Amino acid sequence: MIKISTFFAGVLTAAMALSQPALAADPDPRNWDAVLEEARGQTVYFNAWGGSENINSYIDWAGSTLKERYGVNVVHVKLDDTANAVAKVLAEKATGKNEGGSVDLIWINGENFASMKRQELLMSPDWTTGLPNWAYVDHENKPTILTDFTIPTDGLESPWGGAKLVFFHDTARTPADSVPQSSADLLKWAQENPGRFSYPQPPDFIGSSFLKQVLSEVIVDKSKLSKPVDDASFAEDAAPLFAYLDALHPNLWRSGKAYPQNYPDMKQKLADGELDIIFAFNPSEASAGIAAGELPDTVRSFTYPAGTLGNTHFVAIPYNAAAKAGALVLADFLISPEAQARKQDPAIWGDPTVLSMDKLSDEDRAAFDALDLGIATLKPDELGPALDEPHPDWMERIEGEWVRRYGAAN
């Protein structure tokens, strides 16, 4: 076989490099004036879950504010599954569309972040810490800001809000002293109150979160949840979860033959008296529902004394986004004290902040202090311990096994 000489190999490599389109340098958030100048006139396609009217309204407000202050247009691309946006970016990479992509910013966390990081679909690392408002983020005391479902964020995504799994009940029907104190208690309660509890069908995020909560409590070796699934032992490791679900399902709403579509559907069923216990990943959801007239004012919150899942949710910029500067401006605005205080107001959304109160000015801190968190919102010291999210690999595997076992039910 004839070998190409080093000289000709070098010429060939150079020629191939010249034939590739030159990619524009990513905007540097540490030169913020240049970012703002580049962002003016851009349209940011913000791919975010669109299943809640109060969240949609908040995103509309953020978009209107950016338009007014910075000349940046924001289009909310409403998703029912974040994986659809991830698939869109992956498809563009597969066809060589390395610039001018259709997704500029994604509301993301967990397995979707892990997938994008693994496939190198995200904008260059460490842009997050260069954002002006990063100075207020409580990354020192909230470890889930720096790791997303055990995966280091490496500055590839910017924190947007906190989350903690919390249960809700209507005290007019379910007294506070009768609510479950663990997943084992919930199973016993469901058996004593058939048809009064259910959860959304995975891969709905809230439904999958319920599976992870139970798994975190019943798995024999909890240390395995911080690592990828071991194929050789998965069946044995997950057996307690599916034994639990086998016992629970006959006692669910409609005997487990159908499931609520999502959290808003569960909320409606609680209001209508079809369900007695529901849950969400936002401690303020019950108060927000009461404020909006969606839930009766007798609804209250509870968690498990031994802990429920907690995490942080983020926004991320795809590597080929068409409006990277505009996306940076939006990401920075979303962690501003102004936007975070508005977001934590249950009358607006009720999503917990990622900011440190100790880092804020007196004026900004006063805005948080003035918030009425609502009659049904637990105080921070009442939320109980936060259980770590399992490695993203677990969600994918238990969702797949759930569909294999129970998916035909709907």
Q: What is the tens place of the pLDDT at every residue in 300-313? A: 999 999 999 988 99
For residue 20, tell me if it sits in a domain: no
Q: 192 and 56 in one domain?
A: no
Q: Same domain, yes or no, for 108 and 140?
A: yes
- Number of independent structural domains in the chain: 2
Sign of CA dihedral 122, 123, 126, 132: negative
Under the banding of pLDDT at 50, 70 and 90, the label for residue 11 is very low
Do 397 and 249 share a structural domain? yes
pLDDT (0 to 100) of residue 6: 36
pLDDT given at position 142? 83
Q: Distance between CA 377 and CA 157 in Å, rounded?
A: 28
Residue in 5, 381, 374 with CA at minimum distance from that of residue 164: 381
Domain match, 188 and 65 both: no
Residues 300 and 397 in one domain: yes
Alpha-carbon gap, residue 118 to 113, rounded angstroms = 8
Residue 353 lies inside a defined structural domain of this protein: yes
Assigned domain for 5 exists: no
Determine, yes or no, domain membership for 17: no
Give the distance from CA 258 to its chain's centroid. Answer: 25
Lowest mean pLDDT among 11-20, 35-44, 278-287: 11-20
Please check whether residues 294 and 318 belong to one and the same domain: no
Q: Is residue 3 included in any domain, yes or no?
A: no
d(CA 346, CA 343): 8
Tens of pLDDT, residue by residue over 129-177, are 999 999 999 998 888 899 898 899 999 999 999 889 999 999 999 999 9
CATH of the domain at 57: 3.40.190.10
Q: Are residues 214 and 320 in the same domain?
A: no
Q: Where are the alpha helices (DSSP H) in 119-250?
A: 183-192, 205-218, 234-248
DSSP state of 220: S
Lowest mean pLDDT among 21-25, 192-196, 209-213: 21-25
Handedness of CA 142, 143, 144, 145 (dihedral sign): positive
Asked if residue 114 lies in contact with residue 84, where contact means CB atoms within 8 angstroms, the answer is no
Q: Please check whether residue 393 is in contact with residue 228, taking contact to mean a CB–CB distance below 8 angstroms.
A: yes
Residues 54 and 125 occupy one common structural domain: yes
Contact by Cβ (8 Å): 131, 335: yes
Specify burial of residue 53 (Cβ count, 10 A radius: 0-12, 13-18, 19+): exposed
- Within this chain, do residues 273 and 393 fall inside the same structural domain, yes or no? yes
Instruction: Report if residue 1 sits inside a domain.
Output: no
| 324 lies in some domain | yes
Residue 139 maps to a domain: yes
CB 274: neighbour CB atoms within 10 A? Answer: 16
3-state percent breakdown (helix, strand, coil) of the chain, nearest 5: 45, 15, 40
> Who's near 293: CB < 8 A, 6+ residues apart?
none
Task: Give the pLDDT of residue 51.
Answer: 86
Same domain for 317 and 361, yes or no, is yes
Least reliable range by pLDDT among 93-107, 136-150, 322-336: 136-150
Kindly state whether residues 279 and 395 are assigned to the same domain. Answer: yes
Does pLDDT of 199 surpass 90? yes
Domain around 31: 27-162+311-374
Bond from prior residue into 203 cis (ω within 30 degrees of 0): yes
